[in-house]
A and B are shown apart, each in its own frame.
Chain A
Amino acid sequence: MKKRNTIKNLPLYLMMVPGLLYLIINNYIPLFGLVIAFKKIDYSKGIFKSDWVGFSNFVYLFKTKDAFIIFRNTIGYNLAFIFLGTIVSIIVGILLAEVTRKTVLKVYQTTILLPFLLSSVLLSYVVYAFLAGDAGLINSGILEKLGLEKISWYSDPKYWPYILIIVYLWKTFGYNTIIYFAMIIGIDKTYYEAAVVDGASIWKQITKITLPLLKPTIITLVLLSLGRVFHSDFGLFYQVPMNNGLLFNVTNTIDTYVFRGLMQSNDIGRSSAASFMQSVLGFLLILGANALTKKIDKENALF
């Protein structure tokens, strides 16, 4: 019986072969590079013959009192991004699904995606165009004209948590929205028809039909982003604040710290160590979160 089942499913297994093959080549073979984190690389000996150094490549990450700040910033911003990003994307996704005219829909879809196409260097120039001390639009175009005092945006850390969150949302909300949008318009229309017959209001339809049906997607996406909670978008935290020392308390993350510290030394052992640590911590976090999900809602756990 069991065996027959497997044979019956053979076409399904065959379908997966190309994709899995790519994963093995692209993602699994290069995993041998993880050993770099535990070695003192000497290229004249080669990666495999270089000496093992245990965990000494990891030490520098925890060396200073900055360690607390960089971990706090990395995790804090990511949690804010996940929370706000999810809410905004769901709302916009629901609204988009209400647009019936194809051309109008296309205009909305295209425009909200545009910011996502800016590379982080260009993104930093866009932000600069608004916030520059002298020439920025907000200072020279708005505050000055209103007779208000100019604000030195780049010199004051207190603004930056908000600026970074806004910039992040500006750049990514369109991208995340289209995922939810696709899930929403994939929902069977008959659910809503039935609800309308029962006299459900708009709000009821959203809370009783749309959101419950989106739940698996939301859980998956949030779980997946939790795995990246120790990584940070280098461009957002390095280029957008223009590597400004005054802002380090609120902009320094694990990735920017590693970059600044290793800029000159070209030391892949220690940069690998950092990314290995980020992966392991993210992995543990996701395992925990997944186990929790499994307990509450078995269906929607990742694996």
Chain B
Amino acid sequence: MITNKKSFKIFVNVILSLLALFSVLPIFLVFMASITEEQTLILNGYSFVPQVFSLYAYKYILFSGNVILRAYLITISVTAIGTFVNLFLTTFLAYPLSKKDLKGRNIILFMVFFTMLFNGGLVSSYMMWTQIFHIRDTYFALLVPNLMMNAFNVIIMKNFFVNNIPESLLEAAKLDGATELQILNKVVFPLSKPIIATVGMMVGLAYWNDWQNGLYFLLMKTNLYGIQNVLNTMINNVQFLSTQAASQGGAAAGSLPSTGIRMAIAVIALAPVIIIYPFVQKAFVKGIVVGGVKG
């Protein structure tokens, strides 16, 4: 849109600031709870201003086995590699599908779309990945199953190509004798920066948030756990200790700062995103779409 109205710009910014606050405030509340002393929290309730300050929850998490840093590194590397491969697969599948005259296009589109609805279930895909591809307890378990390409992304990327890339440009390039790869690289990518960045972001989020691959495929190698698996395990442990009944013997759980730990875990899962996201996005747009940007 184009407008010179100052009032509209202000309106836009006010609304967006409110939405940003709406998104962040609950998380800020969680952060405050994570640095509030446990008993105060139970007694006085959640508050934006902690009455009694305590870092015990963070100490508990960071010093219980020193795995957080390694898990971060694993998650970051999986996210980076996974996103890259995924984008490669997605664009290379979506671009041909955007050609309306391509023979068999509808069948392939249907094939892609079909996978969004039907799946064989966990057991069969587990059997395939572990018995044919032997990815159990390897780094690949985090990377390959389910996340490497997503039908949804293929379809929205195809849509973008169809709607936002003028046919005339493609025709012109073709007349110049450019190959399909060259067209993709010189014409399509430069115009598709927004969708590539967006799909990349969504894929990145999927990798960052994923805990299922770790849960299913990393059985004897929990040292390959990414950050989500480590944090999930920790939450489950707190839960486990709390359901352990007195009559079952064994050790007393001690008074764990359970609420505080949960809140601190939320913060630890989110913090790097806040810190590195802007850089990643920049590098991402620059690095991946660099091919066509400056001609």
Binding site for B on A (CB under 8 A): 5-6, 9, 11-13, 15-16, 18-20, 22-23, 25-34, 36, 47, 92, 94-99, 104, 106-119, 121-122, 125-126, 129-130, 132, 134-137, 139-141, 170, 173-175, 178-179, 181-183, 185-189, 192-193, 195-196, 202, 205-206, 209-210, 213, 216-217, 220-221, 224, 227-228, 268, 271-272, 275, 279, 282-283, 286, 302-303
Contact = CB atoms under 8 A, between A and B. Distances in A.
A13 to B, nearest CB: 7
Contact of A23 (B27, B30, B47, B149): B149
Contacts of A106: 278, 281
Contacts of B46: 129-130, 132, 135-137, 140-141
The majority secondary structure among interface residues of chain A is helix
B274 A130 contact: no
A286 B235 CA distance: 38
Contacts, number: 295
Contacts of A104: 13
Nearest to A197: B2
Give the 9 A-B CB pairs with smallest separation, nearest first: A33-B124, A33-B120, A19-B93, A140-B45, A30-B120, A135-B45, A30-B125, A182-B198, A182-B194
A118 B41 CA distance: 21
Interface stretch (B54-62, B200-208, B240-248, B287-295): B200-208
B89 A18 contact: yes
B280 to A, nearest CB: 10
B221 interface: no
7 contacts: A19-B93, A26-B148, A119-B209, A126-B29, A126-B266, A141-B48, A183-B164
Contacts of A188: 164, 166
Interface residues of B, number: 106
Given A119-B211, A175-B202, A22 B89 contact: yes
A27 B26 contact: no
Given A113-B205, A118-B266, 14 more contacts: A18-B89, A19-B90, A26-B148, A98-B1, A99-B12, A114-B27, A121-B235, A125-B263, A130-B29, A175-B205, A179-B156, A187-B164, A220-B155, A227-B116
Contacts of A217: 156, 159-160, 163
A15 B160 contact: no
